[in-house]
Amino acid sequence: MERLSGVNIRKGESFGVGFLLVLAFLAWFFRPWLHGIILGLYRYPITAYILILLIAAMLYGVKAKYTRTSKDKMVTSALGVLLVILIFVSFFTGALTNTALYREYHPKEVSSALALSTTNIRILPKATAYRYAVDTIEYARYTLGAPHLTIKSGSPVWAFYIVPDGAWNAIRLKDKGVLFVSMNTTRADIERVENELQVGPNMQIFDNLEWKIYKKHFLIDPDLPRVLHYEGKIYIVVPYISYRFRVFYTVPKWGGVIIIDEDGNIEDLKPEEALKDPRLKDFPLFPESLTRDIVEAQNYWMDSFLSNIKNLWLYHKNQIELIDVSNQGNRQPFLVIANDGRKYWMTAVEPYGRAHGLAAIYLMDAQSGEMTQVKFETPLTGPVKAIDYVKKALPTFDWSQFRAVEPIPVFLEGTLWWRIAIIPNTGSGVAKIAFVNAESKDVRIFEKEGDVKDFILTGRVKPSNETQTIEGVLKAKYSYIQNGNTHWILLIDNQTISTSAEDLSEELIYKLLILKEGDRVKIELKDGRVVEINVERG
């Protein structure tokens, strides 16, 4: 009987060991699905310590309740004290991380101006680029992934993965390719590259991009996967963040770059290897999300983390805030190009509090991660207030149908301007492009792309008294009444015309009223005013 009992015990132990081995294998194989939890515990190790102590304290507490030995009670009390200490320490780990991050990344150079490129200024906002791109998709089982900024032939473009639409298609189909939309024009300048990807975003399950990345390199935070079109092939470039372990906290750093080709082959490059790779020349490699963390860490400039906590809670000396215009889905930093061709992550910051002036602009080299700062001798207007000045400059504009988006900093002849796009709520075009002088608050508003580019090149408004003809298909017609006057905005192909009843004859008003979407129109303007309307029914 005893022998039989021993055999059963050994069988039970063997079954338990086997079950644990199977469980461990499944956890290892499906580890990409556990990435968020495990990386969270690794990034914030004090959380793991607290959980372990909490479980241990509960187990010893239950044991002490039944055994009532002094040893168990002592251990339970000690664990409780340690738990309280760790919870107290956890309130300071954020300051410890940011203080260490500031010591590694802070501006090595401070200047008063930046000579940005005058040929690669972002004109087309993200919402309009997405509308242009999605209107070109004619595949029943495909849609577009989220837009992202990338570099193609040395110029910034909006890129969209062509991805399977729906859960079932995501399992069965592959990503079909990529759409590129130029951001240097208000027109729908679109290029489609249809090279099937064996690994990519939005596919499921084992060909999913994140699944492959976490199988290759687990304890990392991938940045946005950007498209690289090199020698006719599509590559997915994913810079990533890794973490230096510091017992109670971790410090983020640029860990490297992962490259996936069309066939699904994966390369994991160290930063120095990525900088030497000819495919990645002039491509943004430094993680965008790490740039934002570094700028926020500039508030931790004092010698110790305790001094930083005291300053941020009480004094707010040299404290800054990142500026994100709300509800636009396009956060800082912005990718910009300097006159020498170098790419930068640009982040504008305001002083702490209710002030909306511009405190500084931080520039992170998008390749090397070298940080510089642009400071100004005189108080300047920030992007939030710049949008207010644009709206004040257009008092009769119907802002219920339009919105001002993406204030981008531009330096023209040493002067900082905010470039702001005015688009319909539908994103179906660009109605106007505005520039706000950050020092004088002067507002310049343009409707023609040529005038925008002339202003960028010269810093001056080009006088015009010639007759202009705009011809194409009427995509949209908006109208609104303000101060007793009817206003119209016409989107013809990708060009915009604004006019009002007080500037039109009765004949032109009638022609304008009967216009319908889809009509082919030919409109003549002189000195910016409509002088003739001809229509051909669509």
Q: Which bin fits 282, alpha (ψ -120 to 50), beta or left (φ > 0)? A: left
Please state, in angstroms and rounded to a whole number, the distance separating the CA atoms of residues 414 and 343. Answer: 19
- Judge contact between 189 and 246, C-beta under 8 A: no
Nearest 5°: the CA angle 91, 332, 192 is 130
Phi-psi bin for 406: left (phi > 0), alpha (psi -120 to 50), beta? left
Per-residue pLDDT at 75? 79
pLDDT of amino acid 114: 64
Best CA proximity match to 416, nearest among 391, 393, 442: 442
Helices (H) then strands (E): counts for the chain: 14, 27
Helix ranges (H only) for 220-315 are 271-276, 288-296, 305-310
Q: In this predicted structure, what is the pLDDT of residue 162? A: 96
Q: CB–CB of 162/179 below 8 Å?
A: yes
- Amino acid occupying residue 122: R
State the angle between helix axes of 70-90 and 45-67 in degrees (0 to 180), rounded to the nearest 10: 160
Tell me which residue has tokens 């912005």. 334
Q: Identity (one letter) of the amino acid at 170?
A: A
Structural contact between residues 373 and 109, judged by C-beta atoms closer than 8 angstroms: yes
pLDDT at residue number 212: 96
Q: Apex CA 485: angle with CA 483 and CA 491, to 5°?
A: 120
106 conformational bin, left if phi > 0, alpha if psi -120 to 50, beta if neither: beta
State residue 519 phi and psi, 5-degree precision. -65, 145
Cα(235)–Cα(107) distance, rounded to whole angstroms? 32
CB 350 within 8 A of CB 323: yes
Give the CA dihedral 34, 38, 39, 41, nearest 10 degrees.
150
Helix extents (H) in 263-413: 271-276, 288-296, 305-310, 383-393
Structure tokens at 131: 């509308």
The closest of 118, 498, 155, 95 to 304, measured between CA atoms, is 95
Please give the DSSP secondary-structure letter assigned to residue 331: P
CB-hemisphere CA count at 13 Å for 296?
16
- Which pLDDT belongs to residue 419? 92
Provide the pLDDT for residue 112: 64
pLDDT at 180: 96
pLDDT at residue 115, rounded to an integer: 65
Provide the pLDDT for residue 17. 81
C-alpha to C-alpha distance for 477 and 65, rounded to whole angstroms: 77
Element (H, E) at 487: strand 485-492
Q: 115 in helix, strand or coil?
A: coil
User: How many angstroms separate the CA atoms of 445 and 422, rounded?
Assistant: 10
The reported pLDDT for the residue numbered 383 is: 85
Each residue's pLDDT tens digit in the chain (538 positions)?
A: 555 555 555 666 677 788 889 898 998 999 999 999 999 999 999 999 999 999 888 887 776 666 667 777 787 788 889 999 999 999 999 999 999 999 999 987 777 666 666 667 788 999 999 999 998 888 889 999 989 999 998 888 999 999 999 999 999 999 999 999 999 888 889 999 999 999 999 999 999 999 999 999 999 999 999 999 999 999 999 999 999 999 999 999 999 999 999 999 999 999 999 999 999 998 999 999 999 999 999 999 999 999 999 999 999 999 999 877 756 666 889 888 887 788 999 998 988 887 778 888 999 999 999 999 988 777 788 888 899 999 999 888 888 889 999 888 888 877 888 999 999 988 888 999 999 999 889 999 998 888 888 888 776 766 655 678 888 888 888 887 766 788 888 888 877 888 888 888 888 888 888 888 888 999 888 777 888 888 876 5
pLDDT in the model for residue 85: 94
Given this model, what pLDDT does residue 524 score?
Answer: 87
